[in-house]
Amino acid sequence: MRRIAIGFIGLALLASAASAQTAATTGGSCVQAVSQLDKEWQAHGYPAPTKGTPGSLTSVDGLHHADAAAINYARLRIRLAHQACNEGNDAAAMTHVAVVRGMLEAPTAVASTSERQ
């Protein structure tokens, strides 16, 4: 459990740095970044976890493995990015985008809890 918490803290720190960089490259507008994140998420194509989904789920590209909790967490952050962007809160939206991108770019960052032990 501690490893999961440390992983999420690391992702949050990575997201802070990445959000500043991403905000600078998008000119402060989050619409393109959130749209691109949607495309990236769909390209990975994780199956929708259901209650009681055991172990790790593999993305369509075969490069990423995540447990149901990590997939649900990423989907939540994507929804929050959309919401923040729609409300005009570019900084919050870009932070959510950066967290999910960090998860997608680092296959071991969203590894299932059974693989971390």
According to DSSP H, which parts of 1-117 are helical? 2-26, 31-44, 68-86, 90-105, 113-116
Indicate the pTM of the whole model.
0.64
47-91 per-position pLDDT tens digit:
777 777 667 787 777 777 788 888 889 999 999 999 999 999 999
Q: Is 33's pLDDT higher than 50?
A: yes
CB contact at 8 A, 85 and 111 = no
Strand, helix or coil at 65?
Answer: strand
Q: Is 2's pLDDT higher than 70?
A: no
Cα(93)–Cα(72) distance, rounded to whole angstroms? 17
Q: Which residues contact 35 (CB under 8 A, 6 or more apart)?
A: none
The chain-wide mean pLDDT, for the chain, equals 74
